[in-house]
Chain A
């Protein structure tokens, strides 16, 4: 019952016996895709709730009064750019260019930080005109949906920081390459979610 080399699943079994890190890394990337599916459902439920509650402003401020076109357009461009720089980071990682990797990863995290900063200032501005989470069903839905995305981005920044630290200490090892691939997937996923937020919440709100 030896493992034959030609067998597709033999590769898997061999990696278990030899402990080769390559396949274990690939396994973890596969699992992260499944995790993203669960996160997608989470956002889908939040979107559904927002859409149900969108019109329920209870006489308080609505999307037209609150949403600032310049503000959310800036946020959108910043996050889309960060997704591009994140792609560049993955690209230079494959070429083994450590310093370029540190640069692009830092730029991505900084753009993320800028995005979160703009979002926080938007929230502060809303609250200052008494548009709080407890004002109406619409605002509960808005703050929770946009805030959940913002929390995801914040976590992504911390995550990138931790990986940045590891890249500087250990260089580009297979394990770190895997971590970068995963955080990249996460970041691009958040970008896609933002595109929907931009459309469903902001654009449809001001139109």
Chain B
């Protein structure tokens, strides 16, 4: 059985040859460095086989930043192409591929891993647990995400990229209109990473519901954990719809079925429905944790408890439910009729209410507080005006009759970048700066961080405000060039200048990280609580020991750690030697990595429609599952003495 498509290198464009060469060089450099410093064993033992939630969180963060670079380069290529009228820097088909991978990567391989990074790093520490409910499954989640991302990225050099937009609408993506492996790459990459996301959702729901320290009732939970619970609930109910949409599209493409085709009784609208039944909740999946981060950052840097804890919880739950009732606002123009459009328009506006509650609560938290402005707070404060404008333009788009004008224009582009960058990315950067010391034991340097923030923030407004105007002037999305004399030229150039400034902002963030790594001894966090913050993770040393809590604390109120500090009881809060017992921890395992490699093989098989390879991959998946099933004990005991030694070394005993 031979492949339907041959896995050939993409040819014909100097940009792609350049990418080929740089991918080759970077790979050789990585192999060389690992071999020269004899780090292969370290990589395998410490990272590839780890089941420790803190390390998995770090892996997610690194992968997300790398993917942000890739997606950002795509964005700059597009902005370069659009900077002047009639440019031919990119050909039309190449431009199609780039906007497709840009959107897909930014949503699924940047926003998703960023929120999962925060879940992993923060949630078990905040609720007083030693790991997540299923550490082994957690490793599978990460590696499925990783190999999904890898599969999408190799499409750039082998076989050809998908080119039908990040939504991949049928019937355009049916085989007869979009022949070739490109769309198969998109489908399989998303399926593989989707399995990982669903597993993460299940994992964190059970972790949060079942693994909390004694005394931590639901209404005493930190609000970031609440946001993780809300987002996880949305994940488990939304992702199966994506699995079905993509699965049926794949069956259409490889088996000639007629789910979404134009002929033989297919129904293309069904794809749009299934896709957005996932797609709309998805944007709430990535924004809820950003809200959660802000709920931690504002009280910490205002020296006050959060304003309106219960309304925050209520609004999380309201958003969780409402997020499932909005999907059709993505296609008002498809003619579902006034009744349907009115329902979805009203539901879309209604979700602005719980979101508005949050914005007011954050501002009331700062009101009359002792506000400090280190880096996490800067990103959090920057979030507010961004999100308010994004929300207001969202309500404009939700007005169904108005949407007939805005639909698929640059107004829409500006709107969703405003909420996804100004919302999710700002929130996640706030979280990254906030919890960086907890991850690595040192802070990120302030001065470069501020420069990065201002470059990014100014660049953001310069990029996207012109796009609102361009949209109102009639410029539609996904056009690769435009004639002179439309009146769009100067605004497009301005937008491109903004994108370059944002690109610089990203480089400053990278520099910020590298500089801080090099100067980590000066930036070290010796207290474990560098921000004078409120929740349980700050009662631990930075970075937290691998077992997290030598003794699981008993919680008596909200903001436990803050109250303990207020009453000067921090010394009592340290573990007593007599209380320390043996700790049972999960073993590392290479199987999650190999399992995901096997799924990657399945993915490649489907991409090139090479079924021998598909069967081989599935055999690998099954073999690893059976091997896991035969395992009797997947944990080990850390003796109490060893923990006492470690706590003494950390200066806590």
The chain A residues found within 8 Å of chain B, CB to CB, are 1-4, 7-10, 12-13, 16-19, 27-28, 30-31, 34-35, 37-39, 41-42, 44-46, 49, 52-53, 56-58, 133-138, 140-141, 143-144, 158, 162-163, 166, 170, 175, 179
Contact = CB atoms under 8 A, between A and B. Distances in A.
Contacts of A12: 210-212, 214
B240 A34 contact: no
A39 B267 CA distance: 24
Contact of B267 (A19, A27, A44, A52): A52
B381 to A, nearest CB: 36
Contacts of B251: 133, 140, 144
6 contacts: A12-B211, A31-B203, A34-B206, A35-B202, A52-B267, A56-B264
Interface string B214-245: 11100000000000000000001101110111
Contact of B259 (A42, A53, A158): A53
A49 B202 contact: no
Interface residues of B, number: 64
Contacts, number: 164
A38 B403 CA distance: 33
Contacts of A17: 552, 581-584
Given A3-B552, A140-B258, A140-B259, A31 B133 contact: yes
B205 A53 contact: no
Contacts of A13: 128, 213-214, 552
Given A39-B240, A52-B267, A19 B202 contact: no
Contacts of B239: 38
Given A136-B264, A137-B267, A49 B259 contact: yes
A30 B244 contact: no
B436 interface: no
Nearest to A135: B264
Contacts of A144: 247-248, 251, 257, 259
B553 interface: yes
Nearest to B209: A30
A25 to B, nearest CB: 12
Contacts of B211: 12, 16
B277 A56 contact: no
A57 B266 CA distance: 10
Given A1-B579, A38-B236, A56-B266, A136 B258 contact: yes
Contacts of B572: 1
A37 B237 contact: yes
A9 B209 CA distance: 10
A166 B214 CA distance: 36
Interface string B530-564: 00000000000000000000011110000000000
Contacts of B579: 1-2
A17 B552 CA distance: 9
B69 interface: no
A203 to B, nearest CB: 22
Contacts of B209: 30
B8 interface: no
B584 A49 contact: no
Most buried by A among B256, B265, B270: B265
Nearest to A35: B202
B352 to A, nearest CB: 26
B241 A41 contact: yes
Given A19-B584, A31-B202, A46-B244, A4 B214 contact: yes
B202 A45 contact: no
Nearest to A147: B251
A181 B632 CA distance: 17
A137 B264 contact: yes
A18 to B, nearest CB: 7
Contact of A45 (B214, B241, B622): B241
A1 B573 contact: yes
A27 B206 contact: yes
B635 interface: yes
Contacts of B473: none
Nearest 9 interchain pairs by C-beta:
A19-B584, A56-B265, A137-B265, A134-B256, A140-B257, A41-B240, A45-B244, A42-B240, A9-B214
